[in-house]
Amino acid sequence: MKVLAINGSPRKNGNTATLLTTVLEVCEKAGLETELYQAGGRDVHGCRGCAGCRQNKGRCAIDDWINELYPKMKAADAIALGSPTYFFDISSEIKSVIDRTGYISRADGFSFSRKVAVGVSAVRRAGGITTLDSMQRFFLINDMIVPGSTYLNMSLACNPGDAEKDDEGMKTMRRLGENIVWLLEKLHETL
């Protein structure tokens, strides 16, 4: 089984990357395959609403990195979205992932259905809850299954390296990883 993490921060080695890597490490130790995809820093296009994805099943009419990412999301058993909190919400890159792959997946037979999905955010001070909420609404209206952790999936962190110093944030990420593993095992043992 595979867990795909998508880093929506342009800071490749920043705090969001630390959070996602912490989750992935737990999954890897449990024997799951993992991949960290760097979305942050790529050129962002919004959904054009052209419905091209309904004709070209599984592909966006704008032929960029989203067409590389979508098949990875479709193939994954669990997806972790990571966004820095930018003005109380997700980064532009994560918004592009949500709008475009969300629309493609619905045109492609609701391909995200019953995948395990989590969102994590690095936030200096305030706005992490709305950032997490933006990602969770995406999961919940796309028929995905969302596990929790022992606190909200965020870390109070400003400069790269800060996330590692937030003990509670790190503990929350490790437990989140454990819950992804636990849930995937439960879901697959009954199939």
Ligand X SMILES: Cc1cc2nc3c(=O)[nH]c(=O)nc-3n(C[C@H](O)[C@H](O)[C@H](O)COP(=O)(O)O)c2cc1C
The phi-psi region of residue 5 (left if phi > 0; otherwise alpha if psi is between -120 and 50; otherwise beta) is beta
Nearer CB in complex with ligand X: 66/122:
122
Interaction residues for ligand X, span 74-93 (CB under 6 A): 84-88
Q: Which residue number is nearest to ligand X in terms of Cβ? A: 14
CB of 96 to ligand X, least distance (A): 16
Interface with ligand X (CB under 6 A), residue from 6, 16, 34, 177:
16
Coil, strand, or helix at residue 88? coil
Residue 67 to residue 61: CA distance in whole angstroms: 9
In the complex with ligand X, the residue whose CB is nearer, 113 or 159, is 159
The residue among 79 and 90 lying less far from ligand X, judged by its C-beta, is 90
Rounded to 5°, the CA angle 143-148-151 comes to 145
> Which tokens sit at 107?
């045109």
14 near ligand X, judged by CB under 6 A? yes
Query: Do residues 59 and 67 lie in contact, with contact meaning Cβ atoms separated by under 8 Å?
Result: yes
The CA-based dihedral angle spanning residues 126, 9, 145, 168, taken in that order and rounded to the nearest 10 degrees: -50
Distance of closest approach, residue 48 Cβ to ligand X, in angstroms:
25
160 lies in the binding site for ligand X (CB under 6 A): yes
Burial (Cβ within 10 Å: 0-12, 13-18, ≥19) of residue 188: exposed
Compare residues 87 and 186 and give the one whose CB is closer to ligand X: 87
The answer to whether 122 contacts ligand X (rule: CB under 6 A) is: yes
Least distance in angstroms from the C-beta of 77 to ligand X = 25
State the residues that interact with ligand X by CB under 6 A. Answer: 9, 11, 14-16, 84-88, 122-127, 157-158, 160
